[in-house]
Structure formats: C-alpha cells, structure tokens
Chains A and B, each alone.
Chain A
Amino acid sequence: MTAILALIRKDLILFVNDRRALILTVLMPIVLGAFFGYIFGGSGAKEVGKVDIAVVMLDDSNVAKKIATALKSETTFNVVELGVDEARLKVLKGKLSAAVVIPAGFGTASVKGLFGAGPKPEISLFYDPSQTAVLQMTKGLLTQHVMEIVTSEMTNGPAGQEFVSESLDKLEAVASKHPEQKPLREMLASLKAFQTDNLATANKAPSATTPAGSAKGFTLPFTTKEEAMTSGPAKYNGYAHSFAGMSVQFILFMGIDAGISILLARRLGLWNRLLAAPISLSNLLAARALSCALIAFGLLCVIFSVAALVFGVRITGNLFGFLGVGVCFAIMTASFGLLIAAFGKTPEAARSMATFATLIMVMLGGAWVPSFIFPQWMQTATLFVPTRWAVDGFDAMTWRGQGMDVAAECMAVQIGFALLFGSLALWKFGAEAKRA
C-alpha cells in the first residue's frame, strides 16, 4: 500500500509541477466552454443574433409593400431592400443569409392565383447553401405573411374587388348555359357584398381603427406557447452543455498523457526500475490508473466550479448523480490511458492515434455540438461511444435536472467501458510480461 500511495503521490506532484500543462488543461476547457456556451445561447439572458436578409421589390403593389413591411417587423430578421443583382451578390459572398425577390405584378397575380384563376406568381429565394436552416425559416415566415396579406387583399383590397367583379360579370354572362355554377355565383356575390359593406363602413368612419383595405385576411388558426422542459427550477444554460463537452475532451487528453507517460517511462528505463522494485505489474498499473482518475476528477471539479461561479451553471438534478457520473468518467479516462499505454508502440505514434481517436469520440459523443442534431442512425450508433454517456450524464444532472436513475444508467455504461478498456490493457501488459 505504501508503494501504491507513493506512486500516486509522485504522479500528482508531477502533474502539479508541470505548470504549463496544468494551466492549459484547466484553462483550455474553460475558455472553449465559455466560447461554445455563448455561441449556443449562453445562460438564456442574452439577445439572439438577427438573420440578415434582403427584400427585392420588383412590384410596387400594396400587397408587395405589406409583405416587405411584415418581414421587416419580424424580430428574427434584419431586412434591407436591395436591387436584384446586389442582393444576389451579397448572398453569394455570404454578406446576407437570404434574399426574397417579389416579382413584378405579384399583387394582382397572387390574388388570382389564390382561386386558381391564373398562373401563380413565383417568389425567388436566394440563399446561402451553408445556412439551409435560414432558408426554411424564411420560407415559413414568408408563407405566413403572404397568405395573410393576399387573403386580406382578396376580401378588402382593390385588387380583390376588381377580381370579384370581373369574375361575377363573366359568370353572369354564361349563367343560362351553366346553371351548375349558381353556388359559385352566389358565393362571389356574397363576397362582393361583404367587400362593399366593408368599404362603406370604412368611408363612414375614416378615423376607425380598421381603415379600408387593412382588415385581417386569413391568419394561422393557432398560437404556440413555448415551455422549456427542464425538471429543475433553472432555465436552460448553454454553458452547461459546452462545459460538459469541453471537460470531457480535455480530461481525455489528460488521460492520453497519462498513457504516454508509461510509454515514456519504458523508453527512459524508469519502468524497468519500478518493476525491479518489490511491486507487481498490476499494482504499478493500478497506481497509475488511480492517480489518473484522481487528476481527472479534480479537473472536472475545478472546471465545473468555474462554470458554476462565473457562468451560472447549476446542478439542477441530483448532486450525487453528478458526482457519480464524474467519478465514472474519471475511471473510464484512466482505463483509456492504460489502453493507450498497452497498445502504443512509441509515445509519438501513440499520441497521434490517441488524439485522433479522442477527437472522434468527443465529436460523436456530442461534446462539440449536441448529439440531437446528428442523423438518427448516428444518434443510435453513438450510444456505443463512451463520451456520449459522459456528456449526456452531465447534461442530465445540470440543466435537464434529472434524477439518480438517469445518472445510474450513464454511470453503468461508463464503468462498462472502463472494464473493457482496463481488461484489454491488462491482457496486453500481461502477455508482454510473459514474453519477457
């Protein structure tokens, strides 16, 4: 026991003595966690950035003007009016996310198009292919406003009145030949009466709150009430996820260093000197794994303390669950380090391979971006990546406010991976010792 404690103490002193590495190991996850947390919404109190789009007005009708005004009133958009060529160029260069081109004659054509009485006008949408989400958002809001404004124009506007009168005249002229069109004629006649009535009301009370032609058209038949789903009292905090992700990444890097230190000790003859002492190989490996796990857990505590004190990250779930997930992740990190030491040929080659593997693991584990944006097959596949369970576990215990049952699942999977990695490493070390 004295020997194992001495070896652990040695590793801790070496880690703390390496000030440059220590600062980087602590500082980097904090800096990157703060950056990604800010990008992904911060603590929820900050204003979300607006999307820059352009409106190209090739039509000077009321309908077109109202659509432009409606888009400009959207809080998510920052809208400028530009010519078509300038708009195209700015989207091409990435200066704008999208541009909406309202074609000439849109006001009249859109009203006719509503009843299928003519060709439907085409609104061109220029968009940055790297921002397809913006395209979907623009299409959605544009559809909402166009439907509302065009149907309003149909019931109250001059274009609608003109279209209804023209249509009625045409139907009346062929009424005797087409008696089956009677219901249509009656519907249009009712609509015309509605339009006339609206116009008269507006003329009688010019100061009324609803002027002529400004009555509402069709609107969405529902409203939404957003409710962020967290179990605890705190709101979603983007820093909670980013700090979890960056902690996992940089602590795994520390695990790589722990593995590499064994390879370096072998190269420098230190490993043989340690093995020449009355201590078994398994005890030597256990000491290295324990020191690595202690350092990993210590780092995790420091990083999350900063996240809590500076960025308002709170453990809204089970505190013991959070600590449990942390301990299991630290153990998994230590076994990962042993795996690198066991299968690495040289420190240099092992570092390259392990860094690559770690980056893949943290990427698939959702440490950089949340795993829910992955395709479904990838979300399923990443259940076999240990980092996914670490990140999900920290998310569950911080902003999702989950209980011990969720933590226990994440802990169990991580311990499973730790056993797998540790067993493989011990098997390889044992095989080498037998060959020596």
Chain B
Amino acid sequence: MSEIILSVNQISKSFAERRAVDGVSFQIKRGQTLGLIGPNGAGKSTTVSMICGLLRADSGEVLIDGQRVGQGNSAVKQKIGLVPQDLAIYEELSARENLKLFGALYGLKSAKLKTRCDEVLALVNLEDRAADKPSTFSGGMKRRLNIAAGLLHDPQLLILDEPTVGVDPQSRNAIFDSLEVLKRQGRTLIYTSHYMEEVERLADQVVIIDHGKVIADQPPAMLYRQLPAQAALTVDLSGEPTHELLAILKLCSGVKSVHATGAKLDIALGQTEDGLGVLQTLSAQGYAPMHYETAKANLEDIFLTLTGRSLRD
C-alpha cells in the first residue's frame, strides 16, 4: 500500500470566464492532516468538490489510493468521507435516522450500521440526543452531527470543508476535541478553513491557495521559517521614546525591527523569549512599560508575507 493516499495533480476548473482553480497540485500521506487554507473565493471548495468527484476537472487528475476520481466511480467514493460546508443533514429526521440514511448510502446495514451510528454519536457527544431532530439542536450540535455523518462508513480520507462556520467558541472546542480524537486514531484528514488558528492546531501540512493557485505547500514549521520574525512584542510607554532608545533596542539580541508610533513600540522578534531582553533593556534605560504583550507569528502573518495582503481582506 502506497504511503500517499491522495494525489492532486495539476487540476484546473473554470466557471464561464472565471478560473476558479488553476493548476493545483498537492499530496497527502496516510495519517496526515492537511490544512487547506485561503481567503474566501480562493478556490478551496472547488478543489474539495473535484477531490470528491462532485465537479469534473477541466484538466489534471485526482488519484485516491492510485485510483482516478471521477463521477460515478463508486469504489473511490467509498474511500472518502465528506463533511460539507453546508449543514447537509435533514432537519426533520432524528439524529439517528440521519446517520442511518448516510450509513446506508455507503452500504452499511443491520448490526454494523447500528454499531457505527452509536460509535460516531459517542465521538461527537450526541448519544443523548440521538432520538431528537436536528431542528431542535444548537448550531454547534448540528455541526457535530454533520461531521458524524461523514464518518459513519469509516472513510480512509475525511474531508472537512469549513466545519466550524457559524459556530460559537464552546462548540468549536467540542468539534476540535472530536477531530483531535480522529487525528490520534491515525485518520487522514483534509481541513479547509480561513480560520488560521484552527488549521495551526490540527495540520501536519499546510497548503495555501490564493486566486486558485497553490502559493505554499509545507509543514507549518517550514512555513514559519520563511517569516522574518517569529514573534512580536508591543509595549506602551509613558512617553515618546527617544531616537537613542530606539537605536539601543535594535541592538538587542533577537530584535529584527523596531517601530514607534507615539508612545507605542512594535518590536519584531526572532523568538518570543527574546522579548525578555528587550524589557530588561527598557528598564535599564529608565523606561517603565505601562503595558506590554507578546504574540507568536501565525499563518495569517505567513499569508501576509506571501501575498502582501491580509487573509480576510
């Protein structure tokens, strides 16, 4: 069995005059979690649709376990679990009836179907609400059921297309708990989102798409190495700093740059820990910081570095 479970090779897709996906390629190894990120309209969902066989690529190919994905290729579809961005569940069927339906579509029946329904309901913490209709659920619970429906047939590749859209932080954590269990179980996941913190929490590999093209495809650690600074320190002083102070700070260990805006300093650092030396230098120079905070660089900064614009512009 090949180590590569999914191979996306130069796929392109146009809608009328607009090129939604333009020569996208990437691969996933078994057990990996791939974060597919990009701003809204970047081409993530179109790419996912082509991977699932819902859209036909104008050119290029998608291989799952070496088999070409295409409309009507049932054997390949059996290997994929899709959790769509939309809440694709029947509001007027009970949670269990929803799962029985989606399980049956993948050939599960009888005792096996019942067992899998129980297992996935437990995984997403909905055992107690199995008999209730999703119309009585909160948004987060519906999202969890949406995920459960994609897991029933124990797919080799689970694709989650923005699974936390419109969900409150508590429900988002609950969803992430479930996803981390799946990750620990060694499942292969594709996770698309424009929430960078979510992808950072899960992904072993990150593919960044912008304007339908892949602009980065690396593990997160490698991506961070492309950044000039790995952390930032913001300090509020009681008064405006002198040019002399700014010059001294630039000489501190790990400091990449220093910008002053009034009494506020924005300092780019090689590591978060480098901030301690900066604060000691300020104190030694007679400046008592009124407030300070440090922040690690994130994928948002990487996207900004790669494209020159914010991810959520």
Contact = CB atoms under 8 A, between A and B. Distances in A.
A13 B84 contact: no
Interface string A1-37: 0110111011001100110000000000000000000
Contacts of B71: 433, 436
Nearest to A284: B105
Interface in B71-104: 71-72, 74-75, 77-78, 80, 82, 84-90, 92-93, 97, 100-102, 104
Interface string A261-278: 000000011101111111
A269 B86 contact: yes
B150 to A, nearest CB: 8
Interface string A141-174: 0000000000000000000000000000000000
Contacts of A276: 52-54, 77, 80, 82, 84
B56 interface: yes
Chain B, interface SS category: loop
Among A13, A268, A273, the one with the most B-chain Cβ atoms within 10 Å of its Cβ is: A273
B107 interface: yes
Nearest to B52: A276
A269 B150 CA distance: 13
A278 B105 contact: yes
A340 B54 CA distance: 22
B97 A2 contact: no
B195 interface: no
B205 to A, nearest CB: 23
Given A272-B54, A276-B77, A10 B84 contact: no
B131 to A, nearest CB: 13
A279 interface: yes
A14 B93 contact: yes
A269 B105 contact: no
Interface string B104-148: 111101000000000000000000000000000000000000000
B90 A14 contact: yes
Contacts of B72: 280
Given A2-B109, A269-B85, A278-B106, A7 B49 contact: no
B105 A6 contact: yes
A10 B90 contact: yes
Nearest to A273: B88
Given A3-B104, A276-B82, A278-B78, A268 B93 contact: no
Contact of A268 (B54, B87, B97, B105): B87
Contacts of B52: 276
Nearest to B55: A436
Interface string B178-201: 000000000000000000000000
Contact of A272 (B56, B84, B93, B97): B84
Given A3-B105, A280-B72, A18 B86 contact: no
A15 to B, nearest CB: 10
A170 B52 CA distance: 111
A7 B101 contact: yes
A270 B88 contact: yes
Contacts of A436: 54-56, 71
A27 B53 CA distance: 44
B107 A2 contact: yes
Interface in B44-83: 49, 52-56, 71-72, 74-75, 77-78, 80, 82
Given A278-B74, A278-B78, A10 B55 contact: no
Nearest to B74: A278
Interface in A180-226: none
A429 to B, nearest CB: 12
Given A13-B93, A278-B75, A5 B88 contact: no
Interface residues of A, number: 26
Interface string A258-302: 000000000011101111111110000000000000000000000
A278 B90 contact: no
B297 to A, nearest CB: 35
Given A2-B104, A6-B105, A278 B88 contact: no
Contacts of B84: 269, 272-273, 276
Nearest to A280: B72
Given A270-B88, A278-B77, A278-B78, A17 B93 contact: yes
A5 B90 CA distance: 17
Given A6-B101, A14-B92, A272-B54, A277 B106 contact: yes
Given A10-B90, A10-B101, A14-B92, A273 B82 contact: yes
Nearest to B109: A2
A272 B88 contact: yes
Contacts of A5: 104
A312 B191 CA distance: 64
Contacts of B88: 268-270, 272-273
Contacts of A17: 92-93
A268 B86 CA distance: 6
B165 to A, nearest CB: 12
Contacts of A277: 77, 102, 105-106
Contacts of B55: 436
Contacts of A7: 101, 105
Contact of B105 (A13, A14, A274): A274
A234 to B, nearest CB: 42
Nearest to A277: B105
A141 B54 CA distance: 74
Contacts of A433: 71
Contacts of B78: 278
B164 to A, nearest CB: 16
Interface in A76-98: none
A103 B151 CA distance: 92
Nearest to A271: B88
A99 to B, nearest CB: 60
Contacts of A278: 74-75, 77-78, 105-107
A272 B97 CA distance: 19
Among A5, A6, A7, the one with the most B-chain Cβ atoms within 10 Å of its Cβ is: A6
Interface of A: 2-3, 5-7, 9-10, 13-14, 17-18, 268-270, 272-280, 433-434, 436
Given A274-B105, A276-B82, A433-B71, 9 more contacts: A3-B104, A6-B104, A10-B90, A13-B97, A272-B82, A273-B88, A273-B149, A434-B56, A436-B71
24 contacts: A2-B109, A6-B100, A6-B101, A17-B92, A18-B92, A268-B86, A269-B85, A269-B86, A270-B86, A270-B89, A270-B90, A272-B82, A272-B88, A273-B84, A276-B52, A276-B54, A277-B102, A277-B106, A278-B75, A278-B105, A279-B74, A279-B105, A434-B56, A436-B55
List 8 tightest A-B contacts by C-beta distance, closest first.
Answer: A269-B86, A6-B104, A278-B74, A277-B105, A273-B88, A278-B77, A269-B88, A276-B82
